[in-house]
């Protein structure tokens, strides 16, 4: 991913779907803004806690470190996780600056353990000419399935996940892979997605290496 552009670009949705998404986002945004100002009353007259509390919980569950044991000659990974400096909704593109070797969490997706219909997404570059954390991800191949990945969080302790599937789609196909992203409205049960480039011996870089994780 270091020499070949973004990890993936978002798929182009039909106009009807885009309209629906826009309306839902607008309603959700308005509701979130109103709740953030103050709590709303319950039937018994007590006040519902503002949405700010939920935001604080998400920050507490933000991944700050990833740990994976060694596997078949591949080095162990034990590295910090930073917040992606740009939104991942349209394109997942970790920085190409001095942080090119780091791992990033897409904060516009879910925090760890938050459930819902959006996965937790972590991404990082891989490249033959640079030293990156995820250079020790894609060589694990299909044997990565069943392995344990641990995450330290900002304030909710350590969480363990198990790799349930690995995919190597063409970059143009990744946005459409429902096995990774789910279908509209599908509850993903705390799914975590790790994304990097698949580097091959012949130097090709047109595919991604994607690992899907579920709570252990």
Q: Does residue 2 lie in a domain region?
A: no
Identify the H or E element spanning 67: strand 63-68
Residue 84 near residue 123 (C-beta atoms within 8 A): yes
Q: How far is CA 191 from CA 146, 186, 187, 212, in A?
A: 15, 11, 9, 7
> What pLDDT sits at residue 199?
81
DSSP 24: H
In the predicted model, is pLDDT for residue 112 greater than 70? Answer: yes
Q: Is residue 3 part of a domain?
A: no
Residue found under tokens 């798929």: 11
CATH number at residue 49: 2.40.260.10
Task: Give the range of the structural domain holding residue 183, as residue numbers without chain letter.
Answer: 8-215
Per the document, the length of the chain is 216
Does residue 199 form part of some domain?
yes
Is there a domain that residue 13 lies in?
A: yes
Rounded Cα distance, 215 and 171, in Å: 26
pLDDT at 135 over 80: yes
Which residues are bridge partners to 41 per DSSP? 47
Residue 77 in domain: yes
pLDDT tens digit sequence for 41-54: 334 444 444 445 55
> Quick check: is 30 in a domain?
yes
Is pLDDT above 80 for 57? no
Count of domains in the chain? 1
Average pLDDT over residues 181-192: 94
Question: Is residue 38 over pLDDT 60?
Answer: no
101: in domain: yes
Residue 108: the pLDDT is 94
Cα 16 to Cα 23, 44, 143, 173: the distances in Å are 11, 41, 41, 21
79-97 pLDDT, tens digit each? 999 999 999 988 999 999 9
Q: Is residue 1 part of a domain?
A: no
């Amino acid at each position: 991913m270091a020499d070949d552009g973004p990890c993936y670009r978002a798929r182009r949705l039909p106009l009807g779907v885009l309209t629906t998404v826009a309306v839902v986002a607008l309603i959700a945004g308005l509701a979130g803004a109103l709740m953030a100002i103050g709590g709303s009353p319950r039937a018994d007259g007590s006040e519902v806690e503002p949405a700010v509390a939920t935001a604080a919980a998400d920050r507490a569950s933000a991944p700050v470190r990833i740990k994976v044991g060694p596997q078949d000659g591949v080095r162990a990974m034990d590295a910090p996780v930073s917040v992606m400096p740009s939104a991942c909704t349209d394109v997942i593109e970790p920085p190409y600056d001095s942080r090119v070797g780091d791992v990033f969490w897409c904060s516009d997706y879910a925090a760890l353990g938050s459930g819902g219909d959006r996965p937790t997404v972590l991404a990082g570059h891989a490249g033959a000419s640079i030293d990156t954390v995820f250079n020790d991800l894609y060589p694990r191949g299909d044997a990565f399935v069943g392995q344990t990945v641990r995450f330290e969080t900002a304030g909710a302790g350590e969480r363990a996940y198990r790799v349930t599937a690995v995919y190597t789609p063409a970059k143009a196909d990744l946005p459409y892979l429902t096995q990774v992203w789910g279908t509209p409205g599908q509850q993903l049960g705390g799914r975590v997605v790790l994304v990097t480039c698949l580097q091959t011996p012949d130097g090709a870089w047109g595919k991604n290496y994607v690992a899907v994780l579920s709570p252990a």
